[in-house]
Structure 1
């Protein structure tokens, strides 16, 4: 069975629907910071899986003509309550905003983000749109099945 490959965001010939549309550079930077903030202490595969969640959400929004969690990478990543590293009171927020490519983990996150935004990243999650750290028990996960566990992160593809 071939691995599922993520679809790239629509380019200029197919403008994204909805109120926001990030540029490829903004998408890469925002996604890389999200990977660094959410999975920076995990394996490269776990960072790839978090990238897959973001891109799966972007793809679902594109396919549905918009979605509550945002229509592009920046909107999906920065929606309050979705990726805690972006919350204004997150403990690592200052580091998230100031980290540079001199940090080897952030450099790896940027490479992953570039591949994801270009549509060149395999999806190791089986289409997940939600995740949480193992050991957490968020209400939205009640009655849902984990579709993948990579590192210390659990992924779900059955949450609306």
Structure 2
């Protein structure tokens, strides 16, 4: 007797399966750092991976999709739709995929263990006011909170 496969709902925010974290991270670092270069995307990726190591019980994909880390995951953010539509035909997104893959496999040596970042063009949030940045790069300040 054959059984019919059941459909499982999949979030429209990222693919399911083992590539979810890679794709989600690449989209986030592309949306926030593509105009600031590879080093900016590397720093953003390292920050997300650092946060994952300090947040047991949550997947990297889940953490990255939190708009408190990467605002572009907020549907109201102006980068959101473009981020979801990006694909590897865009050289910057292809680079973001490579950066995300390396960050997921390696050790952070670029942001000093930071697990938060602030775009220097934005007002400093309350949580960062008493902290000293672990690194500053490409218009971002990185913090270990």
| TM-score class, shorter | 0.7 to 0.9
Tell me which residue corresponds to 1:38.
Answer: 32
Provide structure 1 residue ranges, at least 5 long, that are not aligned to the other structure. Answer: 1-21
Deviations 1:76-123 (A, max 9, x none): 111233210100101121110011101111010000111122x23543
Aligned partners of 2:126 and 2:97: how far apart in 1?
Answer: 31
Provide structure 2 residue ranges, at least 5 long, that are not aligned to the other structure. Answer: 1-15
Q: Provide the aligned length of Structure 1 versus Structure 2.
A: 129
- With the length of structure 2 as denominator, give the TM-score of the two structures: 0.83
Tell me which residue corresponds to 1:151.
Answer: 138
- With the length of structure 1 as denominator, give the TM-score of the two structures: 0.75
Q: Does 1:57 align with 2:55?
A: no
Aligned partners of 1:93 and 1:57: how far apart in 2?
Answer: 22
Tell me which residue corresponds to 2:98.
Answer: 111
**Highest Rg: 1 or 2?**
2
Tell me which residue corresponds to 1:134.
Answer: 120
Tell me which residue corresponds to 1:13.
Answer: none
